Structure 1
Amino acid sequence: MPFSIAEIADALGIRAEGNVALTISAVAEPAHAGPDDLALAMKPEFAAQLTQGQARAAMLWDGADWRAFGLDAALMAPRPRFAMSGLSAMLDTGSGYETGIHPSAIIHPDAVLGADVSIGALTVIEAGARIGSGSVIGPSCYVGKDVTLGADARLNSGVRLMHGVSIGDRFIAHPGAVVGADGFSFVTPEASGAENVRETLGDAGNAMAQSYARIHSLGSVTIGDDVELGANACIDRGTVRDTQIGNGCKFDNLAQVGHNVVIGNDCLICAQVGIAGSSRIGNNVVLGGQSGVSDNIFIGDNVITGGATKVLSNVPAGRVMLGYPAMKMDTQLDLYKQLRRLPRLIADVAALKKTVSKTEPSD
């Protein structure tokens, strides 16, 4: 920091025009950009705000007339939002955790730390834990017995990795995330009302009041490389086999993954999504915010669910789903349009009935 326009273009593999020696030290929205900021004007509607700020350089879409906006230089990106990924990595100064091992950290003698590992204040590392080289463990974290954490991981403050969890390289977990808590598994001595409802789809039967017995979680959690967990996201351990998360999956805040779930590679799990136990999710699946997935079902590759969708049955690969219960998005939207027409239709029918009743001959 700062970076020249030429340095940024070279790092991102995009084109730069104008005074490429110009340096910037931060990014800003066009209307609030100062002379040392790079304005992010990646769409024409954003670029229209450039005159409200003082930016001398901006990131624009490929083919934009940057001179018309009074700029001295521009970065031209075929896919500006993707270029933002690399740009944000260049400008991210990090969380500010200190390097080395804080004297208040408690590290078991049998734990194995790779080269250049940093451990924050009040963090606990249990026996048999193995931390990969270059990893940063923030303050007040917990790494349980026999946990394996790959290289270049970053655990932000308050992350909990419970015993036996195995995680690949470049793992990122935001504050409060928990991996490997016990699954939500309870059973009653006799069939419960909830079991009867599941079987009959509506009839609770005459089930007696019973206490719940706990089924212990004997499995663990296995997570691949390049996975990121949002704040307070939770992945439960399996009952017998491991809960499994593939490579490249990204979880937003407050996502919940139940016991025995298997998720493929490169899935995007948005905020407040809940995935019930023993469900299987394919590759490249996107679950929109507040989507819910029932237990013991399968969702195929490349499925996308809109926000608040509730998936109660298997979904074939490639489907786009919406609603409760989930159905194909175009079908759901058509039903919604029909629903909006109902008041007018009811009024029309009432008017027709009135007209017919007036024209009927009297006795």
Structure 2
Amino acid sequence: MEHPGFFERAGPYTLFEVAQAAGAELPAGADPAMQIEDVRPLAEATRAHITFIDNKKYLAQLDVTEAGACLVAPPLAGRVPAGTVALVTRQPYHGFARALALFYPSAVHPIVSTPGAAPVDPTAHLEDGVLVEPGAVIGREARIGSGTRIAAGAVVGARVTIGRNCYVGPLATVTHALVGDRVIIHSGVRIGQDGFGFAMGPGGHLKVPQIGRVIIQDDVEIGANTTIDRGALKDTMIGEGTKIDNLCQIGHNVILGRHCVIVAMCGISGSTELGDYVVMGGQSGTVGHIKIGTGAQVGGASHPAHDVPAGARYFGTPAKPLRESAREQALLKRLAARDKGNAEDGSKGSSGS
């Protein structure tokens, strides 16, 4: 059965209505009555969708987008493909936030369960053998597979699906998520809350509705008090067999490949992609919108600022290839020893005069 989604969409709206809501200008010759049905990323948008660009890393996607309209800053208006209407605005990300709020007015305050319902909502479907401990809450239209245990005080949100033989620990919350089989979610984990999405500006920070999901594949384990934000437009994805330690932060739109190991207190910024079998050492982290190649290793307390090649070993801040970082550390150590020696020699000379 196809999942019904977590957010109710309004619309469709005319291109004029969308442009007005987004604070953008309709170009000459555009059809103001054109129907816009939804908001989508550049690479996924079709004729019935509006999209946006606010990061030059995605210019290649702009060149081939099939969107009906695109929110774009004036310098990039000429680069919008001929079949796409360029909605020009000085702040495309602000416009995108307003367009999302138009289509998804309830996204900022999502529903967990039917008001007044029992702890297990009557519309939820639990297979035989599901164990729900006292104080747990199961939201409306949630689906939970046999052999799964929902511990005391845990919350499973509306329309969440959890597979078979899973464990959701005490006081954990799972919303806006599709969870596979044999997944272990330890106590205090937060899955599916909205990502840190704000259109920053001198007049204040405009909240950007987050309408994506979290997809967790089979055999994943998530440590205590780790947080995994749902996607903004696309989904946040955790690949099969990946193990995440305690106190990690996984931002919106992040993709973790299969069998990754993410050690305690890591921070993975939004839209970062990790290939399969990546290892992130404790207290390491990434900037957003970069790729860590398959089999790469990032040392503890290290922070890549750019893409990391497959199989590479990086260390330091900003992270560099391990050998390069080790040479730099050795050089600094020699320089520090030389300066210490010079200082001691000067001190001896001074005392003997």
Q: TM-score range by the shorter chain?
A: 0.5 to 0.7
Equivalent residue runs for 1:214-253 within 5 Å:
214-253=207-246
1:105 and 1:119 in contact (8 A); partners too: no
1:310 is paired with a residue of what secondary structure? coil
Cα shift at 1:305: 1.1
Cα shift at 1:260: 0.5
Query: 1:121/1:336 Cα in 2 relative to 1: closer, same or farther (>3 Å)?
Result: same
Give the structure 2 partner of residue 134 of structure 1.
147
Deviations 1:133-169 (A, max 9, x none): 100110000000000000000111011001x310100
Deviations 1:312-345 (A, max 9, x none): 0000000011100101112212211211111332
> Which runs of at least 4 in structure 1 moved beyond 2 Å after TM superposition?
343-354
Matched, 1:148 2:141: no
Give the structure 2 partner of residue 328 of structure 1.
321
1:105 and 1:121 in contact (8 A); partners too: no
Q: Return the structure number with greater relative CO, CA threshold 8 A, min gap 6.
A: 2
Q: Distance in 2 between matches of 1:221 and 1:174?
A: 17
Matched, 1:271 2:251: no
Q: Distance in 1 between matches of 2:288 and 2:279?
A: 18
Number of aligned residue pairs:
231
For 1:230, the aligned partner's letter is G
Q: Distance in 1 between matches of 2:240 and 2:288?
A: 22
Give the structure 1 partner of residue 31 of structure 2.
none
Give the share of equivalent positions with the same residue, in percent: 39
Q: TM-score normalised to the size of structure 1?
A: 0.61
For 2:155, the aligned partner's letter is Y
For 2:333, the aligned partner's letter is R
Give the structure 2 partner of residue 58 of structure 1.
none
Q: Distance in 2 between matches of 1:350 and 1:113?
A: 74
Q: Distance in 2 between matches of 1:230 and 1:351?
A: 50
Q: Distance in 2 between matches of 1:281 and 1:310?
A: 14
Give the structure 2 partner of residue 170 of structure 1.
182
Aligned partner of 2:306 among 308, 313, 318: 313
Q: Distance in 1 between matches of 2:118 and 2:304?
A: 44
For 1:299, the aligned partner's letter is I
Q: Distance in 1 between matches of 2:274 and 2:122?
A: 39
1:286 and 1:302 in contact (8 A); partners too: yes
Q: Distance in 1 between matches of 2:226 and 2:346?
A: 56
Cα shift at 1:241: 1.2
For 2:256, the aligned partner's letter is I
1:181 is paired with a residue of what secondary structure? coil
Aligned CA-pair RMSD: 1.9
Matched, 1:256 2:249: yes
Matched, 1:210 2:221: no
Cα shift at 1:105: 7.2
Give the structure 2 partner of residue 180 of structure 1.
192
Q: TM-score normalised to the size of structure 2?
A: 0.63
Query: 1:339/1:121 Cα in 2 relative to 1: closer, same or farther (>3 Å)?
Result: same
2:192 is paired with a residue of what secondary structure? strand
- Higher Rg of the two aligned structures: 1
Equivalent residue runs for 1:1-363 within 5 Å:
106-162=119-175, 164-189=176-201, 209-346=202-339
Cα shift at 1:351: 9.3
Q: Distance in 1 between matches of 2:290 and 2:231?
A: 16
2:336 is paired with a residue of what secondary structure? helix
Q: Distance in 1 between matches of 2:200 and 2:136?
A: 39
For 1:185, the aligned partner's letter is G
For 1:294, the aligned partner's letter is V
Q: Distance in 2 between matches of 1:269 and 1:159?
A: 19
Give the structure 1 partner of residue 81 of structure 2.
none
1:334 is paired with a residue of what secondary structure? helix
Deviations 1:58-86 (A, max 9, x none): xxxxxxxxxxxxxxxxxxxxxxxxxxxxx
Deviations 1:108-143 (A, max 9, x none): 111010121100111100111000110011000000
Cα shift at 1:272: 0.5
1:318 is paired with a residue of what secondary structure? coil
> Which structure 2 residue ranges, 5 or more long, are not aligned?
1-116, 348-353
1:269 and 1:287 in contact (8 A); partners too: yes
1:105 and 1:120 in contact (8 A); partners too: no
